[in-house]
């Protein structure tokens, strides 16, 4: 494995390890999927947001956001309201049940962050933040036609 391939493998492993507390402590207890959790936490932090904004903020694709919103709405956790000025926009807010769930799960997220970043000083955290920001920007870059530069560059070679 190349050095870069090893780094990519380690990033994927990091993501999987970061999800362990969610799947171990929250998913079954609250009957919530990972995407639903991400959306609920984002909406809770923002107070009110639109579906496309949550997709952009979380990096979850629009179709998965739509499915998660539908489930959260069905379960009485999220209120969805069409924007009267823009009929395509749906405003998302937490219901009373969603707010209760957000408040119950937020400390778990904070515990994960505290555990993961303990032992790192401010300079290390700032450097890590800079690297992550640059990586996300590279993954989200689009060409002049609005296509993902990342997806175009990583297409399989034609056979």
pLDDT digits (tens, 9 = 90+) for 1-18: 788 889 999 999 999 999
Residue 140 resides in a domain: yes
Are 125 and 153 in a shared domain?
yes
pLDDT digits (tens, 9 = 90+) for 67-94: 999 999 999 999 999 888 887 788 999 9
Are 111 and 131 in a shared domain?
no
Q: Which domain covers residue 127, as residue numbers? A: 121-159
**Pair type for strands 90-94 and 49-50:** antiparallel
Which DSSP symbol is given to 59? -
How many CB atoms are closer than 10 A to CB 11? 11
3 state SS of 83: coil
CA-based diameter of the chain, in Å? Answer: 54
pTM, to two decimals: 0.83
Are 98 and 86 in a shared domain?
yes
Residue carrying structure tokens 């990091």:
14
């Amino acid at each position: 494995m190349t050095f870069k391939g090893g780094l990519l493998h380690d990033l994927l492993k990091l993501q999987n390890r970061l999800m362990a507390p969610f799947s171990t402590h929250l998913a079954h207890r609250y009957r919530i999927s990972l995407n639903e959790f991400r959306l609920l936490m984002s909406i809770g932090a923002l107070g009110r947001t639109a579906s496309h904004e949550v997709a952009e903020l979380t990096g979850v694709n629009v179709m998965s956001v739509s499915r998660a919103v539908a489930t959260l709405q069905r379960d009485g956790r999220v209120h969805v309201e069409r924007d009267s000025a823009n009929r395509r926009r749906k405003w998302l807010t937490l219901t009373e049940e969603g707010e209760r769930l957000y408040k119950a799960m937020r400390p778990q997220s904070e515990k994960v962050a505290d555990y993961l970043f303990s032992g790192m000083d401010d300079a290390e955290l700032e450097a890590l933040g800079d690297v992550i920001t640059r990586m996300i920007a590279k993954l989200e870059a689009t060409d002049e036609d609005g296509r993902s530069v990342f997806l175009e560059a990583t297409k399989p070679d034609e056979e």
